A and B are shown apart, each in its own frame.
Chain A
Amino acid sequence: MIQAEWFYWLVGAVFLAMAGQMAMDRSNPRRFGTAAFWGLVGAAFVYSTWVADKTAPAEPLGAAVLVMVCLAGFGFTGRGTVPAAPAERRAASAARLGNRLFVPALTIPAVAMVCAVVVKGWHIGRRPVLQAGSETILGLGIGTVVALVVAMLVVRERRPAAPLQAGRGLLETMGYVMLLPQLLATLGTIFQAAGVGDSVGKLTEHVLPHGQTYVAVVVYCAGMAVFTVVMGNGFAAFPVLTAAVGWPLLIQQAHGRPAVVLAAGMLAGFCGTLCTPMAANFNLVPATLLELKDQYGPIKAQIPTAVALLACNIVIISVFAF
C-alpha cells in the first residue's frame, strides 16, 4: 500500500522547496549555487525511483551526482542568515510552553516504533499497509509528518513556510557535509564493482603466517577495524576479511565456533567505524549538527573506547570460539 518511494518523493520535495527558499535568500552570497546543489539533490531523489527499478538509465543520475560534487567541491555553495529567533524570545517561549515542547520531538520515535512493531502486521486485503522491508523508514516518515502537525499545534504556528524556513536554516548550517554519507555509500558501490575487496583479500593472504590461530584472530579483528576505517563501513570489510581470514583459517582450519568468530568480527569492524571520518553520518554529521569547531571531536571522544573494545573482541574470540 504505502510505498517507500513515496517517502523518497516527499524528501525530494522538501529539498526542492528548501532550494526555492535558498534561491530567494539575498543574504546568501552564493544563493544560486546553493539552491542548484540542493535542488539537484531533490530532483535526484525523485529520479532515483526509476533508476532503482531499472526503468530509467542511471548515467544521467551519475552525471548529476558529479555536478553536485563539483558545486560543493569548488566552493559554489554558501549559507544565508536565516533570521534566528533571539535568545530572550526562545527562553520566554520555553518558559511558556515548558515540557510540552518535548511532545512533538518524542512523537517521531513513538510513531516510528508503532509503525515498525504494530502497523507492520496490518494488511488491507492481502497486501501489507506498509511496504514490506521498509517499515522502519516509512515509520520515520509518517512519524515526522505527524510530529510536524503536533508541533504546529503546540507552538500555535500557522504558516507552513515557518518549519520549512527553520529546517532550511539547519540544512544550511550543516551544509554539503549532509550529503557525504550517501556519497560514501555510493563510493562503496564503485569499490565493489571495481574489485577493491578482492585485491585486499589477496594482500591479506600474502602477509598472513600459517597455522598460528591467535595471530589469525588478531589479524581478523584488527583487519576488520582497519579496513572499516578506510571504507567507512563494516559491511564492506566483512565479506573481504571473512573470505580471506575468518572462514578459511579460524573456522575451517582451527575449528572455531562460527557464531562467535563472525559476531565478534563484525563488532571489531564497528570499532573501526567509531574512529573514521569516512563514516560521516556517525562522526562528521553530528559534529556539524552540534556546531563543533573541531570536526573530529566525536571521533576523539570515541577512540579510547574503540581501542579497548577491539581488544575485548580479540579476547572474546580467543576465549569462547575454540
Chain B
Amino acid sequence: MLALLGVLVVVVGFATKRNPLLVVGVAGIVTGLFGGLSPRAVLADFGTGFAASRSVTIFVITLPVIGLLERYGLREQARALVTRFAALTTGRFLALYLILRQLTAAVGLVSLGGPAQAVRPMVAPMAEGAAERRYGALPERTRERIRSFAASADNVGLFFGEDCFLAVGSILLITGFVNTTYKTHLEPLDLALWAIPTAACACLIHGARLLRLDRTLERELAAAEGALPRADVEEAAT
C-alpha cells in the first residue's frame, strides 16, 4: 500500500503546478523505495523504462522539416488556402478533420495526424484562417480557444478511431492480457467491432461541439467585427 504514496506525489505535484519533470522524478523514487525496491533497482528501472519508451519522443525527428517549412511560410500558406473556401467555417473545418482523423486511424494510419506533423503547421492555422476571413484579426482569447479545439479534434479522432483497427496497441493489450490471464480465446476482430459504437458517439458528440464552436465565435466576435483593420491580421497572426 505504501507504493501508492508515489501516486499521491503525482497528484499533489500536478495540482500545485510544480515542475513536472521533478514531480515525475520524485514520484518514481518514492514509489520505488516505498514499494520495496532497492535504490539500485530504482535506478535500473529508470534506465530500462527510458530505453523502452523512446518511441514516444521520436516525433522530434520531424521538427527540422516542419521548422524549415514554417520559415518559408507553411503556416501562412495554410491560412491562405483555407480562406479560399467560403463555406468552410472554423467549426466545419475542424469537424471535417475530426472525421478524417477517425477514419484514417480506423484503418491503421495513425501517423497521418499528430500535433507536431499536422496540427501546428496546418490544422490550427487553417482553423484560424477560416475565422479570420470572417471576423478579421482575432483576439488572443479566441485564438487560444481555436487552437485548443484543433488539438482536441486530433486527440478525439485518434483515440476513438484507432480502436476500430485490429492491430492497434490497445486491442492487442486487451487480447494479450485476457487470453494469457484467463485462458480464453478472445478475437481482436470482436473487440474492434465493439469499439465502433463508442467511435460513432465520439464523432457525433465532438463533431457537434466543433460545429457549435462557430456559434460561440459568432457571438464573441460579431461585436468586435471591423474593430481591427484587415492589415493587422498578418501581424496578429504571428
- Minimal Cβ-Cβ distance residue in B for A69: B25
| Interface 9-mer from B30-38, B131-139, B221-229 | B30-38
Q: Which residues of B contact A112 (CB under 8 A)?
A: 111-112
Contact A72 B21, CB 8 Å, known A48-B50, A267-B195, A313-B198: yes
Q: Decide if B197 touches A73 in the complex (CB within 8 Å).
A: no
**Apart from the given pairs A90-B72, A171-B63, 19 other A-B contacts in the complex at a CB distance below 8 Å:** A58-B43, A62-B45, A62-B47, A73-B25, A85-B71, A85-B72, A97-B73, A99-B77, A105-B121, A108-B62, A109-B117, A116-B108, A136-B111, A157-B68, A181-B56, A187-B31, A190-B6, A238-B170, A316-B201
Q: Which residues of B contact A195 (CB under 8 A)?
A: 3, 35-36
Query: Which positions 89-127 of chain A face chain B at CB distance < 8 Å?
Result: 90-95, 97-99, 101-102, 104-105, 108-109, 112-113, 116
Complex: A85 Cα to B198 Cα, angstroms: 45
Q: A129 interface residue, CB < 8 Å from B?
A: no
Q: Which residues of B contact A191 (CB under 8 A)?
A: 3, 6-7, 31
Q: How large is the interface on B (under 10, 10 to 19, 20 to 34, 35 or more residues)?
A: 35 or more
Q: Decide if A66 touches B46 in the complex (CB within 8 Å).
A: yes
Q: Which residues of B contact A273 (CB under 8 A)?
A: 155, 159
Chain A: minimal CB distance from B191 (Å): 5
- Interface, chain B (partner A; CB < 8 A): 1, 3-4, 6-7, 10-11, 14, 19-22, 24-25, 27-28, 31-32, 34-37, 40-78, 80-81, 108-113, 115-122, 124, 140, 144-145, 147-152, 154-156, 159-160, 163, 169-170, 173-174, 177-178, 181-182, 184, 186-187, 190-195, 197-198, 201-202, 205-206, 209, 234-235, 237-238
* B interface SS class: helix
Q: Decide if A305 touches B156 in the complex (CB within 8 Å).
A: yes
Q: Which of B53, B120, B198 contacts A290 (CB 8 A)?
A: B120
Query: Which positions 3-38 of chain A face chain B at CB distance < 8 Å?
Result: 7-8, 10-11, 14-15
